[in-house]
Structure 1
């Protein structure tokens, strides 16, 4: 084996310091002897490597002895699976261990080739990949992942690898926080989007209210993105493992402490943030397309009393002229909280079904909740059928008995193929009674109102993860870790998968029953859940802190491949105030998933109840509904590339280090900037604008023009949220209405926000909004790309369209009736206009305003409104606007 120079003393000291800090912050940390490399081989292409490791004599003692004996032989498999993805897997060489099943995350299987070593360096590197993998020549075993183009070290492990039956530990050094900015790892409610030194993330799905910060919540996503200063190159790191774990970010290191499975790492090269999520979702699965109607506004409350209450809410929104697309019902509609039943007194079928039919006739939708716990009741048809199919989770030789809302319940085991079939039949039968348009699956961590006692060692492993921030036993308020799933799989291993599996079964059931695009909202999630479900941030509180924190969680789930995300507007728990609710709808109108939801026993908070809130809602939701074609186009982008709908600013401006810590603003797509008010009593908001031109989306005026990026204090009246579009973007808009179906029937306006160089581009995706596939052999869709540019010193503006694909028939009748040109550089208002469409002069209406009030600082940029057009969306056009002075 070829030798390499020892690492510099400084690096060794940093690794030693990282280990010591890990011990201090995250409990006992490894100080054992680790493993030595006994053999390795690299294939001739330099893309695959296998190494054999043996425990160093004396390992297993020291600080981790209490966690059990070391596994004596390990296999290391590394592979450049694509030019942008590196896979590194460390597993027991002498027998199989639990791993995330292939049908959860389909992926290439490791190829355990090569049995003997040969001379050479244990390095993977190719001319086409920017990732390199190398095993350090020094003993004990360590490995590093680097960026070939820059030499930047992305991941560099310490020598203290620990691998026991129920405790695995690995630490990687990182550049200091000023050099590396990390995002992701969750689900937790965090005070900041960017990770902070000494953050600890516990991944064990739990029913803990999202209003609690820094605690493990409903989902597990062991993925982070690392953005490096000095250019903004980004990469991603995934540990594909479903067992409970603590991940400690110490600023200059990251430590994983895992209670089972294998160390299965994937590294994504980027180098742009968008490229990272593209590469990540190529592996874990692209986000599911959401139906068009789901981008409308949703209303829910736990505590609606009866059908009359629902009817009053729908009428209240209509009377107040506030958009409403979807009405929801929490567990109130059920008979004694039993799934797939209706309360015969308050929500009888003969009252509820006509209500739903009226919603449908008005272009509105209806969604209800279902929980996984099936009431143990010998007269309950769903339970009787479940017993017959034998699909429940087992414990101590019989069906596990928990307690949730209906009382005693058993839980379907969605690892059992029969459980998904059972679930689909129950959903189909329920929809014959009540044709709901989507399903909301809650309490699926799994939540349990009793704490099962320990049955065996799985219920109380030697290392206690930091569950609930107090190292609470992993059995608390959930099913026992010693429960047994189909095929003998322990809940200990599969716990974090339950919400994913239920979401998949629910998605597939709706698809099979309706033939339309499913809408599922799940509280519990795992890696890849975005293929089946939307998500909301859970049980938040009606506080200003929770309002702020919702942005952090929303941005994190965009990284996780779940772009349809939002928080309960106005807060779920506790009593909101008029001002808080008003400011919350101003923010929540721009969540990808926009829903007002509140808890029983709290003050009602439908948006029409306070006139000030109603004004905010009409204004913010009015803009959201105008933006629906843009938002839906972003859904297409998310489905095909993984790109988040709501994004941090650094996604569009990775070279601007000032954007790395911004989490009080966010982008929709690449260029719509939302800057909400997040404090009580505020009438201004200080917003950061990256370099470029920024135009108000309310009056199209130029708000900011900056060469380098700057912070600006903006007026924020009580009924207004600041929303701007960056120069260089073309936005397709439609006309506001009270439902998304009516918006879809309106004409299109194009907003052309010209950049400093006089150019702009944009996209529009169209389909019927409900076909199962957005794009595919059986789908009908259209994609149009727009471009704009100035000519003749700015006196001519050309706006062109290019039809990429057109099989959606309505695109041939939908017309663009108006084009708004923002950012015209003119010394004075033009004396006249001539408008040409495809070379033929047309009789268009034109108007112009200063768009900057003649302020020299704003460049006296004007806005031209060109109306009276009839440009068919599905036909390519060349619009030429000539201004004379």
Structure 2
């Protein structure tokens, strides 16, 4: 045990001020005993004072702090005498809490001169220090290398049966916070006095800001001035309010325990790597899911679906999947078919035609089972000892209990039975908060806790539009504790059911999410409106879910509610073509908005989706990176430029991986776009001969063509592009182009991941896949400049099974024009018979036929 590293005077003053502003400073705990062993510290806390508001205080608490890895610190505080609800291991597998607690040494007079006022646990291999302050109790987490304090609780810890409160001071002038949610927010970076309510809800007023929505993610990233980042997770599934005051963050939780995890970073990418290492890496998505999808609530029959597919083909707009909302069901019941409008004798041939054309079919499913059709099995949520009867689309319903192993087995069986009739390619878990249309009277204290979170922005009862908190799950778990886990558990069961039946990589889309949902499913922003502000805010939400470990993310393109316009729809597909998950979806009462309806929108769609499909090798490689490291596919600019403080507030642009900067039009009638470019070289992705060079970050006014979004390639990157096609399977058949964008020093790098796009594992030890790393270097000698592009094949097992080759290499950012040049491929000169061209700083060579799975080297020798 090391002694030292007390909080700075600045933080002490902040803590005192927050104590005065937020809560009664007489509340809190003292440290009764401590024990430190290696990378673990434990403490026993006793109540000192207390309050009567929200119920009696827990008198004795147990704290354990442990460095679980060199970059992850866990701090867990719970009732010392009684077991409390915690997120179960089978929902989020993770290291078990340490135990039994060391007895420690009793401190006869806490705070006296005979004992230290604080004890610090640290490790030479970790940048995280944990310090416990004894009287009154509080704790700090600091960065050992810089002494920067990352988390500093006030002395007003409150711990009651159904109310927990803790506050941490923050340096308001140096901290930029991101995350927490799910909510629609005006900005990506948290603003002072932002508040977040975490209670999953089927929101009925989709146009409102700052309301709790479908998911709960008590995780934030803090980026300090200068670029050092860390992450903070409160792993707790109970309802809560989180208040961000700029100089502090306060948690008000209605149950469970305080189970904090701190992630050291120090880069933003390192934070999400460390975070997803704990909660689970994002699920690999099948290759086809990165194509364009079309859905609508209100496709009347199979002929309507057929017409939509034909409309896309006629307009030459890519379409990889068509979806059915509840229209396909018989009386809105899962895994049934409307016998009139969607009979199997019509739907099955339609799906077979899709499959023959390389296209897919996805349908929605709900967690509510029609009461009259429910099996006589113990599968459902209960209240008062009987199956809970709620109301949903089928009428009176029972709700499946996905905590019950019999229910998950039933769900898998129903998936398999349905797929024997209609071989769907993915499942869409909707209204799984779970949504319920019935009002409930309180049954006991769980339905009306002493502290009322700000549900729906009006402090509505937690039973509003969902099942009652007094509902009971398997093993007597209450909905009060497990409510926010429902969507996660259904996604988990759906993923397992599809995998078992198809033996292929599952595609699951879920509306309701929790910490770890990305391990099983994709997500979308829910019921958005066809408005310009909703178009802009979709970026914030997608960036947020990248932090949450759910990179496969999108918004309903052209809007779900309300009538869109030709201009809005055109601009939305220009942006949506860069969403990881690109789907058009709309409500049945709205105007039709398939991308071929308006010619101007169709023109935008063809250009935007042509670029998307050409970029698919790069996007799919980003999926591999997300699956192995947690890295978001769509990222804020500060992920690549953390030392540029000007990037911290940018949320009307985003990066696709580290290479592509997207600056969309987000306002009607725009003729230009204001875009921020960090220092470096930037090449127009559409017009490769145009480049911007920034010595320092700068805002630039770009033209806003009516039919495309501005997309720029950052110097220093190598992308592999494929030919465009009307499906992902067709696009994968053509030759590939290597696009090399040189940094100012003449270097660049990139990589390519390839597999069949549907095997359950992505990059597993025994799998059939290929990974190639590309690099470019420059050498100067006696009037000649040699630019060398080479490949390093990390693994080649999949590439030989494909006929694809690199046909063309384009190098951008060369010094020009040279007096002469020579091309060597694997040390053999490429003769002039090959197609070669020179423009201003751009050099292209065609007809290469370079095998992906084989090492190659291309030298461009230029004399000046």
Range class of TM-score, shorter chain:
over 0.9
Could you say which residue in structure 2 is the equivalent of 1:820?
810
Distance 2:75 2:202 in 1: 32
* Counterpart selection for 2:397 from 406, 409, 422: 409
Between the aligned partners of 2:752 and 2:20, the Cα distance in structure 1 is: 53
Q: Give me the TM-score of the superposition, normalised by structure 2.
A: 0.97
> Offset of 1:212 from its aligned partner?
2.1
Query: Aligned partners of 2:615, 2:149: CA distance in 1, in Å?
Result: 42
SS in structure 1 of the partner of residue 814 of structure 2: strand
Residue in 1 aligned with 2:568? 580
Q: 1:831 to 1:350 in 2, by over 3 A?
A: farther
Is the CA contact (8 Å cut-off) linking 1:161 and 1:170 kept in structure 2? yes
Partner of 1:613: 601
Report the equivalent of 1:856. Answer: none
Map 1:672-751; keep pairs closer than 5 Å. Answer: 672-751=660-739
Distance 1:4 1:878, change over 3 A: closer
Q: Does the CA-based 8 Å contact 2:282-2:630 persist in structure 1?
A: yes
Whether the 8 Å contact between 1:812 and 1:872 is mirrored in structure 2 is no
Q: Where does residue 17 of structure 1 map in the other structure?
A: 17
The CA distance in 1 between the partners of 2:837 and 2:133, in whole Å, is: 66
SS of the residue corresponding to residue 553 of structure 1 reads helix
Report the CA distance between 1:18 and its aligned residue. 2.3
Shift of 1:789: 1.7
* Residue 7 to residue 685, structure 1, CA distance change in 2 (3 Å): closer
- Structure 2 Cα separation of the partners of residues 584 and 406 of structure 1: 34
Q: Report the secondary structure of 2:236's partner residue.
A: coil
Q: Give me the whole-angstrom Cα distance separating, in 1, the residues matched to 2:202 and 2:630.
A: 28
Q: Distance in 2 between matches of 1:188 and 1:7?
A: 33
User: How many Å separate the matches in 2 of 1:452 and 1:521?
Assistant: 29
286-295 or 1-10, larger mean C-alpha shift: 1-10
CA distance in 2, matches of 1:2, 1:848: 66
CA deviations over 1:808-841 (Å, ceiling 9, x no partner): 1446642100000000112x3x455422111112
CA distance in 1, matches of 2:631, 2:3: 43
* CA distance in structure 2 between the partners assigned to 1:6 and 1:795 by the alignment: 56
Deviation at 1:397, TM superposition (A): 1.3
Q: Give matches, 1:24-43, under 5 Å.
A: 29-43=23-37
Question: CA-to-partner distance for each residue in 1:407-459, whole Å, 9 max, x for gaps?
Answer: 11111000001110000000100000100000000000010011211000000
- The one-character-per-residue Cα deviations of 1:456-484 (angstroms, maximum 9, x if unpaired) are 00000000000001110000100000000
Greater displacement, 703-712 / 427-436: 703-712
Partner Cα separation in structure 1 for residue 228 and residue 92 of structure 2: 27
1:557 lines up with 2:545 in the alignment: yes
State the alpha-carbon separation in 2 of the partners of residues 688 and 434 from structure 1.
48
Unpaired segments of 5 or more residues in structure 1? 23-28, 852-861
User: Residue 699 of structure 1 aligns to a residue in which SS?
Assistant: coil
- State the distance in 1 between where 2:157 and 2:823 align: 70
| Residue 50 in structure 1 maps to residue 18 in structure 2 | no
What is the aligned partner in structure 2 of residue 154 from structure 1? 150
Match of 2:295 among 293, 300, 311: 300
Residue ranges of structure 2 left out of the alignment (5+ in a row): 107-114
Match of 1:126 among 112, 123, 126: 123
| Contact 1:215–1:468 (CA under 8 A) maintained in structure 2 | yes
Asked whether the equivalents of residues 754 and 799 of structure 2 are also in contact (C-alpha less than 8 Å), the reply is no
Question: 2-side partners of 1:701 and 1:832: how far apart?
Answer: 20
Shift of 1:140: 1.2
Structure 2 distance, partners of 1:416, 1:840, is 65
SS in 2 for 1:825: coil
Aligned ranges 1:527-546 → 2 under 5 Å: 527-546=515-534
Counterpart check, 1:874 vs 2:853: yes
Contact map agreement 2:812 2:843 (CA 8 A) in 1: yes
Alignment of 1:149-548 (within 5 A): 149-176=145-172, 178-208=173-203, 209-229=205-225, 231-377=226-372, 380=373, 383-384=374-375, 387=376, 389-548=377-536
Q: Aligned partners of 1:303, 1:283: CA distance in 2, in Å?
A: 41
Contact 1:847 1:866 in 2 (8 A): yes
Alignment of 1:651 with 2:639, yes or no, is yes
C-alpha separation in 2, matches of 1:751 and 1:595: 28
- 2:834 equivalent among 842, 845, 849: 845
Aligned ranges 1:588-627 → 2 under 5 Å:
588-627=576-615
Q: Aligned equivalents of 2:21 and 2:719: distance in 1? A: 49
Q: Which residue of 2 aligns with 1:661?
A: 649
Question: Could you say which residue in structure 2 is the equivalent of 1:101?
Answer: 88
User: What CA distance in whole angstroms lies between the structure 1 residues aligned with 2:313 and 2:18?
Assistant: 59
Does the Cα contact within 8 Å between 1:49 and 1:78 map onto a contact in 2?
Answer: yes
Change (3 A) 1:650 1:400: same
The separation in 1 between residues aligned to 2:26 and 2:90, in whole angstroms, is 36
Cα 1:339–1:806 shift into 2, 3 Å: same
Please give the secondary structure, in 2, of the residue aligned with 1:500.
Answer: helix
Could you tell me how far apart the structure 2 residues matched to 1:322 and 1:791 are? 44
Cα distance change of structure 1 residues 355 and 21 upon mapping to structure 2, 3 Å threshold: farther
Instruction: State the shift of 1:9 in Å.
Output: 6.0
Separation in structure 2 between the aligned mates of residue 752 and residue 809 of structure 1, nearest angstrom: 21
- Contact between 1:693 and 1:702, CA under 8 Å: does it hold in 2? no
Structure 1 residues 654 and 210: CA distance shift in structure 2, 3 A: farther
Q: Secondary structure at the match of 1:581?
A: helix
3-state SS of 1:136 partner: strand
Superimposed CA distance per residue, residues 588-643 of structure 1 (whole angstroms, 9 cap, x where no aligned partner): 00000000000010011000000110011011110000000000000000000000
Partner of 2:411, secondary structure, is helix
Aligned length: 850
CA distance in 2, matches of 1:482, 1:464: 15
Of the three residues 789, 796, 813, the one matched with 1:806 is: 796
- The normalised TM-score by structure 1 is 0.94
What secondary structure is seen at the aligned counterpart in 2 of 1:183? strand
Q: 1:674 to 1:8 in 2, by over 3 A?
A: closer
Distance 1:508 1:429 in 2: 15
Q: Deviations over 1:152-179 (max 9, x none)?
A: 0000000000000000000000001x31
Q: Counterparts of 2:746 and 2:7 in 1: how far apart (Å)?
A: 52
Return the alpha-carbon distance in structure 2 between the equivalents of residues 344 and 179 of structure 1. Answer: 62
Q: Which position in structure 1 is the counterpart of 2:66? A: 79
Report the Cα offset of residue 849 of structure 1.
Answer: 4.6
Aligned counterparts of 1:425 and 1:4: Cα–Cα separation in 2: 59
